[in-house]
Amino acid sequence: MTTDLITVKQVTKTYGSKSKEITALKDISLSIPKGTTLGIIGESGSGKTTLGKLIAGIESPTSGEIDYNGQVVHKLKASHKRDFLQKVQFIFQDSTAALNPRWKVRDSVTEGYISFGLGDKGLKDKVADDALKRVGLDRRYID
């Protein structure tokens, strides 16, 4: 039986004031089982970035709830927030904002590990190798 890593329950996100309110997401529900990958595809302005920000805990929903391993993301205490941020990373849809073209693939893939002080060079190499294997790329692309 697969358990859900992330559950989005009837989430709505609005911006602006009552007189000029914009609804970015309305009553969205989905679940992401552990060990799976989800791609969010849609037209410009359809709410993809907003949903990503909510799941990553960058913003809070106007209503509804987003759970990560059974904990409500926007209500995480500081002690749990760091652990959450180590495990959930936001990838911007504008690749130039997300990736430094001067970096090697190894550096881009392992940036989070280094930022959070999670490993040495040996671990960095293993993480990069594993990431390439998961997406079906040959190791020759690492450098």
Residues 17-66 have pLDDT tens digits of: 888 999 999 999 999 998 887 778 778 889 998 999 999 888 999 999 99
Burial class (CB in 10 A: 0-12, 13-18, 19+), 13: buried
Domain boundaries, the chain: 4-89, 99-141
Sign of CA dihedral 103, 107, 109, 113: negative
Which residue, chain included where needed, has tokens 């990373």? 89
CATH top-level class of 4-89: alpha beta
pTM tops 0.75, yes or no? no
Residues 25-37 have pLDDT tens digits of: 999 999 999 888 7
DSSP 60-100: --SEEEEEETTEEGGG--HHHHHHHHHH-----SSHHHH--
3-state secondary structure of 33: strand
**Cβ contacts of 75 within 8 Å, gap of 6 or more:** none
